[in-house]
């Protein structure tokens, strides 16, 4: 095979241009130099091609073919072109030959786009760059370590560790005195490590999610074919198709389109929409959003050559967002820490008073402080020991694991939700979704499959089954109305190949029907007519219109409208019958058409009507100044019914949400009969709930209610039909005012206000516009309502897991604090040392958080009512569980403290080890109780959580090591089998105790409200006495 090399002539032309008057020797030297230079150039190019393409080269090539051509894109200076677009320099653009001149220079066909072959795309990326921007360097692990050190809890622990280390070395020497202080440092190191690594991984996860969310799909025309590609694959010269809600993927120039308005607020800060056209302002900028209309643009700059690219390269996403639950837990941790400090200070005062009043004895039973007879060194050592005991209480009181538990839970749930087709954009949405009381959902694509097909067609008052029965003139009008009033397109590679339809699902369904059943030739129609003006479809108008002029007849203008059937019908005063005759439409016939539309809608069909009007050129010129199409006295051409079947499993998902106490409301732009039929099919409505029932309402009716009527009726509404985005926003606001936590699904640009207003905004990953996605908290990747129900389940799981951990942690905190406080005041010493308490803290904070935070959602979660806005984080059920378990542990451990030596016949050192071992094993057994806050069977589904079982096993193994092998470090003594059995037996009682406790019913009124009530009445009593 031959190797074809493209060699530019620019570099060797000066060498080949030899003057004719040179001498023969000079000519020979010049030719020799030229030969050597050319040989080296060819050799270099051959090596370069081998490295880059890795093409197999024959070992003995017989010849090499050189295809020598000028350098590509040499007729255009790209930096100048980039500057023209950035500066909006229209005059300079005209000097380039206008938009057509730029397209020629970029070797782009205005209609067909670039060639689009792999080599062509690669060559353009090499010449002009790729459509990516340099991201700021990701935060390293060290950054999160530093951030963890800034936490107040950690700083207090470090201070305590320094005090303990200093006092320990002072009292016991450097060899053994470092144990307590050193162990606090080790605990701090572990907490910081887990926290920093968790936040670091979460940051990496956000980076990955950011790449996924930024990977927008863009419609381009390449080699005459419209296709979807990634935004990162867009190259200079591409022809990009834009529609309402799209993000402009690169800088470029307006080629063709209608009514295009762009929101440039992301670039300029101005909220007013900018009109784009080819006459005055053809400049489009990357990162801006299409607010109205549609168009095709020619890409002139990509990536770092755009203003958006330069701006985005300096912005890093802040992942330090603190969720509401994290804020509440930080406040809780701070409150518990303050209580611990108060108790520690009280213990310090009591112990110092006891010591200096001579109420303490040393190991030999002698009075420790004896006035001036006591050595100063002994006084210092005793005071240091007392301070160390107080520091120990502070250490055990501070629940540094609470914020960590939230981080672990959210990070784990985010990862699992991604696998369940839900991409979390805002962390707070994870937990807020668990409190949702109402879900307002779209119909199309969410409850239905979004796989549309025309199944019914009515001409006049007759259903048409065979297109051959339609008159030729009427058929031509239908084809014109479909082909020229659309944002979709039809592509066919060859005459024998299949058609490819692009556009919205509705557009594709209508185009497919017109091409395959009505034999429409779209390309011929586009050539035969000139489009004069377009009114693009949007969700408020629910219709689109176009005015066209035939190339054969310049004296008349045709106006075509297409849209919601009853809205188009209201604009008509006549209609065509099946034979093509035009007839006037009186009230009786209008009612007949309304019944036809209602009948189709009742069969779950979306009804789209086509209407037409022919006006003289002179009248069109008069109306052209107002930029408005003729909207009255139209002639109805026909009505099509489009079937969009319900998604499999959507009815069960709706029932699951309703069973969980969450109201599901459907808000749709379809007419009331279609909406009711779909809602009944999905289970949102009961079959007996008719249109006259308050459960079904139209957007206009809801809008016209008084504020008082809206607030009264909003809870009863299940379906809102013919709604505008403003109606959806109004409903969200009403529901929030009534105390609901509202989740809203949306896919259109106009859904943005409702998505922002809602507590949780859910945008659609497939049909959703970029504007909707940016306003949302969670992106539902498969557009399926079943995924919304899954998000609800995960939200409840997050909230429930955090409640489990709070109950578990507070049980240990209360028990440890009371035991050490009582022992310190009564006996003058603490039974649990700093090392032992920190080991318990480690079980709670890291291993406990990891075990309880990774529990997966269960069916039980969907059997309880939603949490709502006002319910406290620590419920009465949690108070009941944790207080009973804490009181049991306090009773057992204080008994061991004061009577343990006589009960077991052991010395004080073994007794302290028994207390420590029993305390730890109580937490291990109580960790099982924490798995279920209300259910009595705490072992249900435990085999599915391998991580939980693994952590329990690791905890027990490490506890055995602490007791049996780390005697000096942990200040323990070895225990025999009987003593181990006693510890296990005492700890195991927490299981039946937990079962019995859950039989006790509790009031729904928050526990702390009783304390406030008592305080309030006490103040009233005092005031009355005064």
Contact yes or no for 993/888 (Cβ under 8 A): yes
b/e string for 226-238 if b means 16 or more Cβ within 10 A? Answer: bbebebbbbbbbb
CA distances from 771 to 476, 765, 791, 839 (A): 38, 12, 22, 50
How is residue 101 written in tokens? Answer: 């001149």
How long is the chain? 1026
What is d(CA 339, CA 355) in angstroms, rounded to the nearest whole number? 24
Query: Residue 404 has which token pair?
Result: 């960590």
How is residue 134 written in tokens? 């340099």
**Run of H or E including 239:** strand 239-242
Are the beta carbons of 229 and 299 closer than 8 angstroms? no
d(CA 483, CA 487): 9
Partners of 727 in the beta sheet?
A: none
403/224 Cα distance (integer angstroms): 56
Residue with tokens 């949400």: 657
Q: Is the dihedral of CA 667, 670, 672, 676 positive or negative?
A: negative
Burial class (CB in 10 A: 0-12, 13-18, 19+), 216: middle
* 698: its two tokens: 């139209």
CB neighbour list of residue 129: distance below 8 Å, 6 or more residues apart: 236, 302, 303, 304, 305
Q: 796, 817 in Cβ contact below 8 A?
A: no
442 is catalytic: yes
Distance CA 737, CA 708 (A): 12
Residue 720 to residue 701: CA distance in whole angstroms: 10
In a 10 Å sphere around its CB, with 0-12 CB exposed, 13-18 middle and 19+ buried, how is residue 20 labelled? Answer: exposed
In sequence order, the β-bridge partners of residue 613 are 559
Give the Cα separation of 367 and 376 in Å (integer): 15
> What tokens were used for 407?
């981080």
Measured between alpha carbons, how far is 744 from 429 in angstroms, rounded to an integer?
12
Q: Which of 442, 670, 759, 971 is catalytic?
A: 442
CA angle 926, 931, 932 (to 5 degrees): 110
C-alpha span between 826 and 199 (Å, rounded): 43
| 158-165: Cβ within 8 A, 24+ apart | 158/185, 158/188, 160/184, 160/391, 160/394, 160/395, 161/185, 161/188, 163/387, 163/388, 163/391, 164/388, 164/391, 164/392, 164/834
704: enclosing H helix or E strand: helix 699-704
Q: Catalytic positions, please?
A: 442
């Amino acid at each position: 095979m031959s190797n074809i090399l493209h060699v530019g002539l620019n570099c060797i032309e000066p060498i080949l241009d030899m003057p004719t008057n040179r001498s023969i020797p000079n000519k020979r030297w010049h030719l020799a130099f030229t030969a050597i230079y050319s040989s080296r150039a060819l050799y270099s190019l051959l090596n370069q091609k081998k490295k880059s393409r890795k093409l197999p080269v024959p070992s003995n090539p017989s010849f090499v073919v050189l295809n020598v051509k000028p350098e590509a894109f040499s007729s255009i200076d790209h930096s100048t072109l980039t500057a023209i677009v950035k500066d909006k320099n229209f005059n300079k653009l005209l000097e380039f030959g206008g938009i057509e001149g730029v397209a020629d220079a970029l070797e782009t066909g205005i209609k067909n786009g670039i060639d689009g072959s792999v080599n062509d795309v690669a060559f353009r990326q090499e010449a002009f760059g790729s459509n990516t921007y340099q991201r700021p360097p990701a935060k390293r692990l060290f950054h999160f370590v530093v951030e963890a050190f800034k936490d107040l809890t950690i700083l207090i622990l470090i201070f305590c560790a320094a005090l303990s280390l200093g006092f320990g070395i002072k009292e016991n020497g450097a060899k053994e005195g470092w144990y307590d202080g050193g162990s606090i440092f080790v605990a701090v190191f572990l907490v910081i490590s887990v926290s920093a690594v968790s936040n670091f991984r979460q940051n990496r996860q956000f980076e990955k999610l950011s790449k996924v969310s930024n990977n927008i799909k863009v419609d381009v025309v390449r080699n005459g074919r419209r296709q979807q590609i990634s935004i990162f694959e867009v190259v200079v010269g591409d022809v990009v198709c834009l529609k309402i809600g799209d993000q402009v993927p690169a800088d470029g120039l307006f080629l063709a389109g209608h009514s295009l308005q762009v929101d440039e607020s992301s670039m300029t800060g101005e909220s007013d929409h900018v009109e784009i056209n080819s006459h005055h302002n053809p400049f489009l900028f990357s990162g801006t959003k299409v607010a109205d209309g549609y168009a095709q643009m020619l890409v002139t700059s990509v990536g770092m050559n755009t203003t958006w690219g330069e701006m985005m390269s300096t912005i890093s996403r802040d992942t330090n967002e603190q969720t509401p639950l994290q804020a509440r837990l930080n406040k809780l941790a701070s409150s518990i820490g303050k209580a611990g400090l108060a108790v520690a200070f009280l213990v310090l005062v009591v112990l110092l008073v006891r010591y200096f009043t001579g109420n303490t004895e040393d190991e030999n039973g002698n009075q420790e402080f004896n006035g001036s007879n006591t050595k100063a060194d002994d006084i210092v050592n005793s005071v240091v020991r007392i301070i160390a005991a107080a520091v120990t209480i502070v250490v055990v009181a501070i629940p540094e694991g609470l914020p960590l538990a939230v981080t672990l839970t959210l990070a784990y749930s985010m990862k699992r939700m991604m696998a369940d087709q839900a991409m979390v954009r805002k962390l707070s949405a994870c937990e807020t979704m668990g409190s949702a009381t109402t879900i307002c959902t779209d119909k199309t694509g969410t409850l239905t499959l979004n796989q549309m097909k025309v199944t019914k067609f009515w001409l006049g008052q007759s259903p048409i089954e065979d297109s051959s029965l339609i008159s030729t003139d009427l058929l031509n009008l239908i084809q014109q109305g479909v082909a020229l009033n659309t944002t979709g397109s039809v592509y066919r590679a060859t005459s024998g190949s299949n058609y490819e339809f692009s556009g919205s699902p509705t557009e594709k369904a209508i185009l497919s029907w017109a091409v395959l059943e009505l034999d429409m030739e779209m390309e011929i129609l586009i050539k035969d007519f000139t489009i004069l003006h377009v009114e693009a479809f949007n969700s408020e108008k629910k219709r689109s219109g176009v005015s066209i002029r035939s190339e054969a007849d310049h004296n008349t203008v045709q106006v075509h409208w297409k849209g919601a059937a009853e809205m188009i019908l209201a604009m008509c005063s006549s209609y065509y019958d099946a034979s093509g005759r035009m007839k006037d439409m009186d009230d009786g016939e209008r009612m007949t058409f309304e019944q036809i539309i209602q009948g189709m809608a009742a069969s779950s069909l979306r009804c789209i009507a086509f209407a037409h009007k022919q006006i003289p050129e002179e009248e069109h010129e008069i109306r052209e100044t107002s930029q408005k199409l003729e909207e009255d006295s139209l002639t109805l051409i026909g009505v099509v019914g489009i079937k969009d079947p319900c998604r499999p499993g959507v009815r069960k998902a709706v029932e699951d949400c309703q069973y969980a106490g969450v109201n599901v409301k459907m808000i749709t732009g379809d007419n009331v009969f279609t909406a009711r039929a779909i809602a009944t099919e999905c289970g949102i409505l009961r079959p007996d709930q008719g249109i006259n029932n308050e459960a079904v309402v139209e957007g206009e009716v809801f809008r016209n209610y008084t504020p008082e009527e809206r607030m009264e009726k909003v809870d009863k509404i299940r379906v809102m039909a013919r709604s505008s985005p403003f109606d959806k926003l109004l409903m969200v606001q009403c529901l929030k005012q009534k105390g609901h936590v509202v989740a809203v699904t949306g896919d259109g640009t106009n859904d943005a206000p409702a998505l922002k207003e809602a507590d949780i905004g859910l945008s659609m990953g497939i049909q959703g516009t970029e504007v909707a996605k940016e306003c949302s908290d969670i992106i539902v990747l498969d557009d399926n309502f079943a995924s919304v129900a899954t998000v609800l389940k995960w939200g409840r799981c997050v909230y429930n897991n955090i409640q489990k951990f709070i109950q578990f942690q507070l049980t240990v905190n209360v028990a440890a604090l009371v035991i050490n406080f009582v022992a310190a005041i009564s006996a003058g010493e603490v039974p649990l040392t700093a090392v032992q308490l920190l080991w318990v803290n480690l079980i709670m904070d890291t291993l406990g958080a990891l075990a309880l935070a990774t529990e997966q959602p269960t069916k039980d979660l969907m059997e309880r009512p939603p949490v709502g806005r006002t319910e406290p984080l620590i419920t009465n059920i949690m108070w009941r569980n944790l207080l009973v378990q804490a009181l049991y542990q306090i009773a057992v451990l204080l008994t061991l403290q004061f009577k343990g030596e006589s009960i077991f016949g052991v010395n004080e050192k073994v007794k302290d080890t028994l207390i420590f071992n029993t305390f730890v094993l109580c937490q291990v057994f109580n960790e099982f109780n924490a798995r279920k806050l209300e259910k009595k069977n705490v072992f249900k589904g435990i085999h599915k959580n391998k991580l939980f079982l693994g952590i329990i096993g690791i905890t027990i193994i490490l506890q055995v090591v602490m007791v049996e092998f780390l005697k000096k470090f942990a200040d323990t003594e070895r225990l025999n089998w009987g003593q181990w059995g006693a510890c296990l037996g005492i700890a195991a009682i927490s299981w039946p105790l937990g079962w019995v406790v859950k039989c006790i019913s509790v009031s729904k009124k928050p526990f702390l409200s009783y304390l406030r009530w008592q305080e309030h009445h006490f103040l009233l009593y005092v005031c009355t006495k005064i």
